Structure 1
Amino acid sequence: MRAMIDLAHRVRRKAMAVLGVKTRGVKVMAFDVAGRLVLVRHRYGSPQLMLPGGGVGRRETPAAAAAREIAEEIGCTLAEVEPAGIFAARAEGRRDTVHLFRARLAGTPQADGIEIAEVVPVDPDALPDAVSPATRRRIDEWRGRRQANGRW
């Protein structure tokens, strides 16, 4: 199953790059009850830890997509949701708009075992080496250590 998910992910990424598809996505800086930032490691693609999130559906608002993705990926609901920025991403040939939110989690986050391999709550001031560069940038911006430039 994992090999099929990996293959589908690579084919989808390549097709979107070739076609120049414009997409909308969401990422959530989600904090657990202990105040730790919840990061995830996907079962496909990069082994890096990153903010949970995903795509925005055709008739879906970014806020609704954020709530849906958190429920699907880590089994929690969101509370105290606030928009934190809109970013342009041009990785892998795609034209992507990423809506970032900050929120508190209601519930205990757990990997869905299908898309998400691991949920890792971290202290935002003591990030593990495996955190993706984009996630580090968002945390630095939130902490006031870096100015946001609108690029993911």
Structure 2
Amino acid sequence: MLRLIERLLPRALHRALMPVAHRVRHRWRTWRGVPIAGVSVVITNISGDVLLLRHSYGPDVWALPGGGLKPGEDPADCARREIAEELGVELANLQPLKVLEEELSGSPHKAHLFTGVCDTRPVPDQREVVEARFFPSHSLPEPLGEVTRRRISAWRMRGIADQSSDS
């Protein structure tokens, strides 16, 4: 029902309301401390560049695409849904990478990290996402959010643990 209401609002109004909704959600999570879960996706293009976003809400930093996991929702389905809603992209080869235990907004947070390759140009929804750009993985923009920095570090470390256990 909430998604339907969001889609009926004009984009500019929806975008203007997002910072307020973000602050309310942040304060609610801080007060409640209830465990939450979400997904992040490290999307690269064919050249290996990393897709980063600027959101219409929250800190003014570059971040990874993703979002909140609905109760009972499969994390991979959530990742596909978020990418399709926010960027108009379908990832054919979505791969699970790691599950990170974090704290967000004062609440325990389980972040399901995925990776995938995009062969089309993402189009920001202009509601939650106002900009989406690919950057060379060796030259990411600043400011980069701390949460994003940790998740990209986990992505960069992929396979290293497997290689060391093979020796």
Length-normalised TM-score, structure 2: 0.80
- CA drift at 1:16: 1.6
CA distances 1:22-57 after superposition (whole Å, capped 9, x unpaired): 111000001123431111111001110011000111
Larger radius of gyration: 2
Aligned to 1:60: 73
Match of 2:83 in 1: 70
1:129 corresponds to 2:135: no
Give CA deviations for 1:127-150 in whole Å, capped at 9, x if unaligned.
Answer: 1122212222333333349x99xx
More helix by share: 2
Distance 1:53 1:138 in 2: 12
- The amino acid that maps onto 2:17 is M
**Percent identity of equivalent pairs:** 38
Letter in 1 for 2:143: A
Unmatched tracts of structure 2, length 5 or more: 1-12, 162-167
Question: Structure 1 stretches of 5 or more lacking a match?
Answer: none
Q: Deviations over 1:45-76 (max 9, x none)?
A: 11100110001111210000000000011110
Q: Residue 106 of structure 1: CA displacement?
A: 4.4
**SS at structure 2 position matched to 1:110:** coil
RMSD of Structure 2 on Structure 1 (CA): 2.0
Aligned residues between the structures: 147
Query: What TM-score results when the alignment is normalised by the length of structure 1?
Result: 0.88
Partner of 1:45: 58
Q: Deviation digits for residues 3-25 of structure 1, max 9, x if unmatched?
A: 42211110111012111121110
> Could you tell which deviates more after superposition, 85-94 or 61-70?
85-94
Moved over 3 A (4+): none
Query: Are residues 1:27 and 2:40 paired?
Result: yes
Determine the C-alpha separation between the residues in 1 that align with 2:112 and 2:60.
22
| Distance in structure 2 (CA, Å) of the matches to 1:36 and 1:133 | 19
